[in-house]
Amino acid sequence: MLKFTTLTAIAAPLPMSNVDTDKIIPARFLKTIKRTGLAKGLFAAMRYDAKGEKTDFVLNRAPYDKAEILIAGDNFGCGSSREHAPWALLDFGIRCVIATSFADIFFNNCFKNGILPIVVPPEILAKLLDDAGRGANARVTVDLEAQEIRGPDGGVYKFQVDPFRKHCLLNGLDDIGQTMQKGAAIDSFEAKRKQSQPWM
């Protein structure tokens, strides 16, 4: 998993509430178990019209087509529990989503895939949406170590994050990575068991 330390990037404004996982990645794109190639399906119903032509959706427009931060509304990631939703965001290049609230399963899946979901109060969200509306001139910095969001005009907003999840993101540790940190102990246990219980 990619480490998340400090990210300075273009932030795309998506001032919508209740963006469910089917909006993030429609069901027709769920035939794969790979984490790559899903960017084309990200927000497909909003990014493409019935003919497959690109719409004026924010992620189709420069500079937001290069955004790594998404500023969204309340209850982001609601609906089904599909892990393809954070996979699609990550495949597009989104490393951080900022909203006033998240659906629990989506929130947890973000941390397990190297995306930092940040909860902020409505007044801070409104300011960040305004900042994001300025385009390429409004880069936002997210500093996980300091737990700060820094806006283009010098504003600094603190955010909360679970210490264990913070540790995992800073060190690029998903569930498998955490297990592999105990690799030597696992190997030692297996070697001893092979000697004491060779029939196993």
pLDDT at 192: 67
pLDDT at 74: 98
Beta bridge partners of 9: 140
Lowest-confidence region among 26-35, 59-68, 74-83, 186-195 = 186-195
| 134-153 pLDDT, tens digit each | 888 779 999 999 999 999 98
pLDDT at 31: 86
pLDDT at 124: 97
pLDDT at 177: 57
pLDDT at 191: 58
Inter-residue contact 114 to 55 (CB < 8 Å) = no
User: Can you give the pTM of this predicted structure?
Assistant: 0.89
Kind and range of the H or E run holding 46:
helix 44-47
Residues in the chain: 200
CATH number of 6-196: 3.20.19.10
| 162-179 pLDDT, tens digit each | 999 999 999 998 765 565
pLDDT at 199: 73
Ordered by start, the domain boundaries in the chain are 6-196
- Chain mean pLDDT for the chain: 91
The alpha helices in 83-136, defined as continuous H runs, are 84-92, 104-112, 122-132
Instruction: For residue 71, give both structure tokens.
Output: 């500023």
- The alpha carbon dihedral of 136, 90, 169, 160 has a sign of positive
pLDDT at 183: 54
pLDDT at 187 over 80: no
- Which long-range contacts link 115-119 to residues 24+ away (Cβ below 8 Å)? 115/4, 115/86, 115/89, 115/90, 116/4, 116/7, 116/142, 116/144, 116/161, 116/169, 117/76, 117/77, 118/142, 118/149, 118/159, 118/161, 119/159, 119/160
| 89-140 pLDDT, tens digit each | 999 999 999 999 999 999 999 999 999 999 999 999 999 999 999 888 779 9
Percent of the chain with pLDDT over 70: 90
Beta bridge partners of 13: 71
